[in-house]
Structure formats: C-alpha cells, structure tokens
Chain A
Amino acid sequence: MAYDKFTLLTSSAVPMPIENVDTDQIIPARFLKATERKGFGDNLFRDWRYNADNTPKRDFVLNNPIYTGKILVGGKNFGSGSSREHAAWAIYDYGFRCVVSSFFADIFKNNSLNIGILPVQVSPAFLDRIFRAIEADPKAELEVNLQEQTITILATGERESFEINSYKKHNLMNGYDDIDYLQSMKEDIKAFADKSVY
C-alpha cells in the first residue's frame, strides 16, 4: 500500500514511558478480524484507552487532550510480541508517523518501515530527555530529519542522530516499497528458483 513520503517531521509528541509495550496492547487480537486495512486507529491501545463499557479511561495519555502530535514516544522494547502488522497500521491510522524509543522489537520495526512509519531509536539518556521535555511542556516539539538522520528537541536544541539503512531511507523519502523493488528483479528470482533444491 502506498504511503506518504517522509522527509522532515516537526511535531509535538505523545509520551508513553512504559517498557515492553507489546503488540497485544497496541491492538488486541480480537480487533484483527477485518479483511481490509481500515479503521484500526479506533482500536489503538484499546484496553488501555477504554473501559469495558467503552467509556474512555481518563488517566490514559491518548485521552488527555494536552498531548497531541504525530510522534509517539515509548519506553524500551517497544512493539514486542506478535508479528501483526495491524499494530503498525493502528499507529499510522491514528495519525502517528514516527515512533521514538530506546529499543524496538525487530518485527515491529520492519513492519513500521514497510508502511511508512519511521522508528527512531535513541539512547536511553536521550529518551529520558525527551520525556522530561514533554513533562515540562506538553506542547514541546521534536524535529525528525530523515535526510540528516537526526532528532532534535526544539526547545533545548538537544540533538541525537539515529541509524537507518540507506535502502530503507531512500524508500521512505520517496514513498517506495519493497514490492516495487522485488517486481523489478523477477528474472533473477526465477533463475534462482530454478536452482532451488526445494
């Protein structure tokens, strides 16, 4: 599925300083029953966000109107557990384009990159600084510059660089995906398959 190009993102952020946020929290399994990719944002963090009677839980960050923005900042080991891409879809559909953490689970990171969400891995110390900046001012803005591979806390000017492989970076900046690439090398794949022992 095509996604918007990602170059520069300047936005306030939603803080979620919890470790090991797993994909069952991001989107519980009972909401995986759609056969189309739509509406997943409504159930993002469903059981942390709503009570059993569907009323919003007041103390959950997504229900607090002072926190807004296109960047979600999570604790370490974000996105662990299931391979459900629905978790990344829910985050994207809700309106986030970037998730910041000090550590991501592998499959979640891949899924995010494949649908146009940028996972930005920062040092634990920098993650702490981001949380403190948002605590001091809920509207504090972060600037994520994909070209330069940097993330900056605009209020203080504190900056850190992040890693991304050049292939994925190129894809995100141009809105390309892996399927386009693989289609362009079908002949090589056919030749490889002919030699396969299985």
Chain B
Amino acid sequence: MSTAPATLFDKVWDSHVVRKIEGGPDVLFIDRHFIHEVTSPVAFLGLEGRRLKVMFPEKTFATADHNTPTINQHLPVEDPLSANQLKALEVNAGKYGISHWGLGNPKNGIVHVVGPENGITLPGMTIVCGDSHTSTHGAFGAIAFGIGTSEVEMVLSSQCIMQPKPKKMRINVNGKLGKGLTPKDVVLYIISKLTAAGATGYFVEFAGEVFRNMSMEGRMTVCNMSIEMGARGGMIAPDETTFSYIKGREKAPAGAAWDKALAYWKTLPTEEGASFDKEYHFEAADIEPMITYGTNPGMGIGITQHIPVEDGGSKASYDKSLEYMGFHKEDAMLGKKVDYVFVGSCTNGRIEDFRAFASIVKDRKKADHVTAWIVPGSHIVEQQIKEEGILDILTAAGFQLRQPGCSACLAMNDDKIPAGKYAVSTSNRNFEGRQGPGARTMLASPLVAAAAAVTGVVTDPRTLMAE
C-alpha cells in the first residue's frame, strides 16, 4: 500500500489524535505540559470547583519565571501579588504531585529554557504551556504551542486539548549566514517579510541549509518567535544536532530506551514531495542584522536601512505606531540613542546569546548613559556563564549579571523600562508598554544589543567585529 509523503507536522499531530470530532476540533493528547505562576492559578481553582483531579501529574512540570525578581532571589519577594502567585504555584504543585522548580531551586529558570536543557522536551512530542512562546520547543521536532488558562485546566484534568488542525506552511532559508548574523536576525527578517499576522492559522516548518547548520539554541530562538508572525507554532526536523543536544540530559531516555527513541525520531522528518498549504523561499545572502522600529515584531528592517514610509497596513495604525516610538518616516536607525539594553528572555537567554554578547563587549566599556540588564534564562545558563569566563568579561566591561527569569521581556517584576526611554532588547515583543508603561522597544539580536550597549546608540555590530 502506498501513502502520500507525509510532513513532520502531520506525523506528530496525527499520532496524537485521540478522537476526531465531525465538524469540530481534534482531541489531541499532550505528552508534556509546562505550567508557571501566572496562567495556572485559575486553572487549579477550576479543577477544585469541578472536583477534578490531575489525570497524569508526572506529565506536568512547574517552574516560576514570569514575575520573579532578578536580584536578591534569596530574600522574600517584595511584591505581595507576585509572592501570592508564586506561593499558589508551589501549593498547587505540592497538592497534586507535580514537579516544581520554584525560586531558589538550582533547576529554576524560564520555562522554555529549562524544559529543553533538562531533557524534558523531546522530538515527536506534543507540548503545551499557558504561554505563547511555547513554540520554542518546536526546535526539537515537537508540536509545541501556547494555550489559554481554560486549556491549562483541560490538560490538567484530561491530558488533552481540543484544537482544529492548523494548515501547514514551510519556510525555507538557504545559503550561508554572513558575518554578524544570528538566528534572531533570520527570524526577524522572516517576520518582516510575512508581517505579524502572515502565518496566522498555520503551523510552520523551518527548513533549508540555514536551519540545518544552526545550533539547537539558534533553532529555539527561531521557533520561539514563530508566534510573532501569528503561527500556531514552528518546528524544525530533528537531526544529529538535535540528538547530540539531548543525549545525556537528565530526563532524556538512556540505554535501550535511547536507542528505541532515536530510531523513532529518525522517522519523523518531512518526506520528499510532501505538500504544504503555503511555502516561502528566502536567501541568507539577503539578510543583514535586523532591528525593529515600530510596535509589532513585523516592523523590522536591516540595521543600515531607513524607516519606511508605510508598512502595507492602515496609515492610521502605522502613524500611531511611529508616534508612540517617537520616530519618523525615513529616519535612519543607525545612530539612534539607546537608554537601556536588555539581554535575556526565552528568545535569547541561552548560553550562545551571552557568548555572542561577550564577543563584542570584550575589551570595551559599557556606555555611561546605558542601563543594561543581563539576565540568564536559567540557573544552568548562569552557571555556564561563570564557568566559561563570560562573567569576567562582562564585569570588566562594566556589566552586572542578574538572576534568571522573564524579567524585562514583559516587565511583570521590577525590571521595567521607564516611560519614553529607548531599549534595545533581545526579547520577542515590541508592543506598546510591553517592557513597562510608555517604554519604547527595539528588538534585535544579542550582537546588536552588545553594539548598542558599548556605543550608546544603534550601531551595526559588524563594524565592531574583527575580519
């Protein structure tokens, strides 16, 4: 019997459908469920209201990250509301027998950093979390996406959610990335081409030479931001890079289980000739270091370019966006003053990101007027930063390393950019007020962030790099 060539997405999705509802969604079984302090408390209240139990507590993992402080984590959390949410997570996890990496735990960190680094995230899985950047885990060839609190309650109580199957899109980027280019530039480039809603309704597979040559950290950065073009999620086929990243991690399969898993994972990649509802092709040679100038992640341009006169959307919305940013049409981005630099988040809070940042600030000094928040994605990343000597480079250049958490990416803790100030941020969203009421965000890579941090203005990192 011959069957049509299948995609990675189809293979993973179809193998998790418990039931198809006529004219409705699929009932999808969930292999791994991550929870954090902000979007889970109401789900647990819901369980109690209905007198339901957690069906498979061993498939859910809790970590505190969204509103944890990034300094003095050994002290009690000052904000009573944040403290209350952190307490609720701890109590709920304890009550239902869910693994919990709270504040102070050596495994604690941003949920999308700690899942992969502890071997919880594996190819072929379905993974959800009450956080839109759950798409990060797609880097391993998993179907991973963000859900709302009602769905968190569904997964806790039944290990399933109900979802219509998204359409399929493939985005190919071929060629080799030039000097000063990072995975963040690749994904900001793609979003600038597709717009912030260009992949809504689709699940995206990233394919081509650029992703094949990319590290797992880089693939996570790319998949992380697939939601910023509206996609339900993004994924990359597992390969040797994936397998060598996973092997030996704490919760990864070992021994005979490893061999069996590996054999299965190798069957997952999209087959030759499989069809997609939509497909794009881009060339690495067309990409330069990227920066955003507006208030959605689709409003990005090459760092040497000028702000366009329109973005293809409504004029009123475009003008509102530039007015918020205090920018004008046809302004150059290079040379714009920078007040704050944020390096971290589930997008760019992994070891490679700090290596990249350090490569530029080494033997240079932080610009006096710049406030920099350097926030590792987890305690494991923090430890690596120390062991690799990156902390010494940062300290010599006048930077301080903070403690792990989501921090200024969404500014739920005290790490808020003040109103009217400009931040170059390695995070994922430049929405109005995202990094604090009135804050003005320019999204960019860790290299662009480093160049801004040492010069105090938007600077092309390539001009600071050796040949």
A residues neighboring B (CB under 8 Å): 1, 17-20, 22, 24-25, 28-30, 32-37, 47, 52, 75-77, 80-86, 88, 103-107, 110-111, 114-115, 165-168, 177-179, 181-183, 185-186, 188-189, 192-193, 196-198
A-B contact sample (5 more), CB < 8 A, given A33-B82, A77-B200, A177-B150: A29-B66, A75-B317, A81-B132, A192-B18, A198-B125
Q: How far is the CA of A155 from the CA of B151 in the complex (A)?
A: 39
B24-39 interface (Cβ within 8 A of A): 24-25, 27, 29, 31-32, 38-39
Chain B 117-134 per-residue mask, 1 if CB under 8 angstroms from chain A, else 0: 000001011000011101
CB–CB B29/A192 < 8 A: yes
For A111, give its contact among B23, B55, B85, B148 (CB under 8 Å).
B148
Using known A-B contacts A17-B316, A80-B230, A106-B232, determine if residue A36 contacts B45 with beta carbons closer than 8 Å: yes
- Distance in Å from the Cβ of B271 to the closest Cβ of chain A? 20
CB–CB B419/A37 < 8 A: no
CB–CB A24/B431 < 8 A: yes
**Total contacts A to B, CB within 8 angstroms?**
205
Q: How far is the CA of A114 from the CA of B147 in the complex (A)?
A: 11
Q: How far is the CA of A36 from the CA of B81 in the complex (A)?
A: 12
Chain B 70-103 per-residue mask, 1 if CB under 8 angstroms from chain A, else 0: 0000000001011011001000000000000000
Which residue on chain A has the smallest CB distance to residue B59? Answer: A198
Which residue on chain B has the smallest CB distance to residue A192? Answer: B18
For B429, give its contact among A17, A81, A178, A197 (CB under 8 Å).
A81
Residues of B in contact with A, size category:
35 or more
For B158, give its contact among A33, A35, A179 (CB under 8 Å).
A179
Which residue on chain B has the smallest CB distance to residue A78? Answer: B197
Using known A-B contacts A36-B45, A77-B196, A198-B31, determine if residue A182 contacts B160 with beta carbons closer than 8 Å: yes
Q: How far is the CA of A17 from the CA of B30 in the complex (A)?
A: 38
For A106, give its contact among B32, B67, B201, B429 (CB under 8 Å).
B201
Q: How far is the CA of A28 from the CA of B81 in the complex (A)?
A: 15
Q: 11 A-B residue contacts at CB 8 Å?
A: A22-B296, A35-B42, A82-B131, A82-B132, A85-B148, A114-B151, A177-B150, A179-B157, A181-B162, A183-B158, A189-B55
Interface residue B432 (Cβ < 8 Å from any Cβ of A): yes
Interface residue B254 (Cβ < 8 Å from any Cβ of A): no
Which residues of B sit under 8 angstroms from A80, Cβ to Cβ? 196-197, 230, 296
CB–CB B162/A33 < 8 A: no
What 4 A-B pairs are tightest by C-beta distance, nearest first? A167-B24, A85-B148, A83-B146, A111-B148
Q: How far is the CA of A97 from the CA of B418 in the complex (A)?
A: 35
B residues neighboring A (CB under 8 Å): 18-19, 21-25, 27, 29, 31-32, 38-39, 41-42, 45-46, 49-50, 52, 55-56, 59, 66-67, 79, 81-82, 84-85, 88, 122, 124-125, 130-132, 134, 145-151, 153-154, 157-164, 166, 196-197, 200-201, 230, 232, 261, 264, 295-296, 313-314, 316-317, 320, 410-412, 419, 429, 431-434, 437-438
CB–CB A182/B42 < 8 A: no
Interface of B is mostly: loop
Which residue on chain A has the smallest CB distance to residue B56? Answer: A193
Q: How far is the CA of A105 from the CA of B297 in the complex (A)?
A: 14
For A105, give its contact among B39, B164, B230 (CB under 8 Å).
B230
- Distance in Å from the Cβ of A17 to the closest Cβ of chain B? 7
For A33, give its contact among B21, B24, B67, B433 (CB under 8 Å).
B67
CB–CB A198/B130 < 8 A: no
- Distance in Å from the Cβ of B253 to the closest Cβ of chain A? 9
Using known A-B contacts A1-B46, A35-B88, A198-B32, determine if residue A182 contacts B27 with beta carbons closer than 8 Å: yes
Which residue on chain A has the smallest CB distance to residue B44? Answer: A35
